[in-house]
């Protein structure tokens, strides 16, 4: 019997013999490991389909040959012809890599599925349709609860995020920040703010104000990549990520924040978030953003590596603020105090700027948050 190079994917035309587990003259049993095959898409262990003696190896380890090439000859004592080794999750017709993975993940016997493709090939939709019809108790490894089609919004988000990762050279930097000054202002003001404004006074508007103060010193972060150039903007327009009650994410824009103080920014954030969640945004609310903020801190996150909002060059994540031991250094020396500490995580586009520029900006942002008299912003 001839052992031939198997088809390991419908677009794969050749494979490489990685290693033989038997040598010429060795006895082989049915399903005993025979050879390792590699392609540019997959690596797999190939067992023997017959019992017999490996009489000749025609393709040595490290050699690459086309699909259908005879790799070896096994004397099985009968007149069997050329047979392709059986590979895991293979079917009578070639399966695409996506279908092979889906079948393997759900422990499905491909022979039970009627293929709708050419020559009866099983397609992804065939597998999904089969799974939907099966009771949960029949699943061998993972029971499928449901298959949730992407909404139009989720499709747009997916396309935007994938495009951003493919476009920008993402780099993440982060700093720990002592939010004692912010907490002091929030503690003194949040109850009256809640009664008057009917919204919570969160960390987000304080960080947004600090960003508006720091960006003029680092203007290349308030910019867009346009071709082989960096377009730097004078106005600071903050795109604020808004969670639509877990149905998706939008980033409406608060414009011209440079001259606004914390109360104004807090009101605008609450207003635009409400419009986003009630599907009342106007087209202008989604345009002209120059820098983005995303706030995951309410969920207690430690650090988030946000994806850049194209064509912007940077985005800042505000993560959870937790009370932690913190080394305080002043004229009295060093001591440990319990302080509210959070992480600001900054993703930037390495095409547009370098790490030192982003790091200097983060240092300045940290200085502003830790040293500013935040209660003064609410006077008058």
| Same domain assignment for residues 103 and 18 | no
Alpha carbons 245 and 91: distance in angstroms, whole number:
43
Supply the pLDDT for residue 380: 64
pLDDT in tens, 324-343: 999 998 888 999 999 999 99
pLDDT in tens, 126-142: 888 888 877 654 444 55
Tell me the residue range of the domain where 123 lies.
97-138
Supply the pLDDT for residue 92: 47
Residue 147 lies in a domain: no
| Same domain assignment for residues 266 and 128 | no
13 burial type by CB count under 10 A (0-12 exposed, 13-18 middle, 19+ buried): exposed
| Same domain assignment for residues 339 and 202 | yes
| Same domain assignment for residues 374 and 296 | yes
Instruction: Name the least confident of 31-35, 226-230, 318-322, 323-327.
Output: 31-35
| Same domain assignment for residues 125 and 223 | no
Residue 242 lies in a domain: yes
Last residue of a domain, one of 60, 83, 106: 83
Both tokens assigned to 175: 């700093």
Alpha carbons 44 and 246: distance in angstroms, whole number:
40
User: Domain with 111 in it: what CATH number?
Assistant: 4.10.320.10
Active site residue 178: no
Radius of gyration (Cα) for the chain, nearest Å?
30
Q: In percent, how much of the chain has pLDDT > 70? A: 88
Last residue of a domain, one of 36, 54, 83: 83
Residues 304 and 294: beta-carbon distance below 8 Å? yes
pLDDT category at 83 given cuts 50, 70, 90 is: low
Residue 132 lies in a domain: yes
| Same domain assignment for residues 245 and 311 | yes
Residue 88 lies in a domain: no
| Same domain assignment for residues 79 and 101 | no
Total number of domains constituting the chain: 3
Residue 92 lies in a domain: no
| Same domain assignment for residues 78 and 48 | yes
pLDDT in tens, 89-101: 444 456 666 677 7
| Same domain assignment for residues 186 and 257 | yes
Residue 91 lies in a domain: no
| Same domain assignment for residues 20 and 102 | no
Active-site residue identified among 40, 125, 354, 376: 354
Active site residue 354: yes
37 versus 347: the higher-pLDDT residue is 347
Active-site residue identified among 31, 125, 284, 350: 350
User: Domain with 17 in it: what CATH number?
Assistant: 2.40.50.100
Q: Would the pLDDT of 306 be above 70?
A: yes
Residue 143 lies in a domain: no
110 versus 376: the higher-pLDDT residue is 376
Alpha carbons 183 and 15: distance in angstroms, whole number:
62
Alpha carbons 380 and 375: distance in angstroms, whole number:
11
User: Domain with 195 in it: what CATH number?
Assistant: 3.30.559.10
Alpha carbons 281 and 279: distance in angstroms, whole number:
6
| Same domain assignment for residues 44 and 111 | no
User: What does pTM read for this prediction?
Assistant: 0.64
| Same domain assignment for residues 64 and 174 | no
Residue 201's nearest CA partner among 272, 265, 276, 292 is 265
Alpha carbons 37 and 16: distance in angstroms, whole number:
6
Supply the pLDDT for residue 283: 85
Alpha carbons 194 and 197: distance in angstroms, whole number:
5
């Amino acid at each position: 019997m001839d052992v031939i190079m198997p088809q390991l994917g419908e677009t794969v035309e050749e494979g490489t013999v990685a290693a033989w587990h038997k040598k010429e003259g060795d006895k082989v049993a049915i399903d005993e490991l025979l050879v390792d095959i590699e392609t540019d898409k997959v690596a797999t262990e190939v067992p023997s389909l017959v019992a017999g003696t490996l009489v000749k190896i025609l393709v040595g380890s490290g050699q690459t040959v086309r699909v259908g090439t005879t790799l070896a000859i096994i004397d099985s004592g009968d007149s069997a012809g050329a047979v392709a080794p059986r590979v895991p999750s293979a079917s009578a017709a070639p399966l695409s890599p996506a279908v092979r993975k889906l079948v393997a993940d759900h422990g499905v016997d491909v022979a039970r599925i009627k293929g709708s493709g050419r020559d009866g090939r099983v397609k992804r939709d065939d597998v999904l349709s089969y799974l939907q019809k099966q009771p949960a108790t029949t699943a061998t490894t993972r029971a499928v609860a449901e298959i949730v089609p992407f909404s139009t919004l989720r499709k747009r988000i997916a396309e935007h995020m994938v495009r951003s990762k493919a476009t920008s050279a993402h780099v993440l930097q982060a700093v720990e920040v002592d939010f004692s000054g912010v907490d002091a202002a929030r503690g003194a003001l949040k109850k009256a703010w809640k009664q008057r404004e009917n919204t919570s006074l969160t960390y987000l508007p304080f960080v947004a104000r600090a960003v508006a103060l720091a960006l003029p010193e680092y203007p290349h972060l308030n910019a867009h990549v346009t071709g082989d150039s960096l377009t730097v903007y004078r106005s600071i327009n903050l795109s604020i990520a808004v969670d639509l009650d877990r149905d998706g994410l939008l980033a409406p824009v608060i414009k011209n924040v440079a001259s606004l103080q914390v109360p104004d920014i807090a009101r605008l954030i609450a207003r635009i978030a409400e419009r986003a969640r009630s599907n009342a945004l106007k087209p202008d609310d989604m345009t002209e953003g120059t820098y983005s903020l995303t706030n995951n801190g309410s969920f207690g996150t430690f650090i988030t590596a946000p994806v850049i909002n194209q064509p912007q060059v940077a985005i800042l994540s505000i993560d959870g603020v937790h009370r932690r031991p913190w080394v305080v250094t002043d004229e009295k020396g060093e001591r440990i105090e319990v302080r509210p500490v959070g992480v600001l995580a900054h993703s930037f586009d390495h095409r547009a700027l370098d790490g030192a520029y982003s790091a200097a900006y983060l240092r300045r942002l940290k200085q502003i948050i830790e040293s500013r008299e935040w209660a003064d912003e609410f006077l008058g």
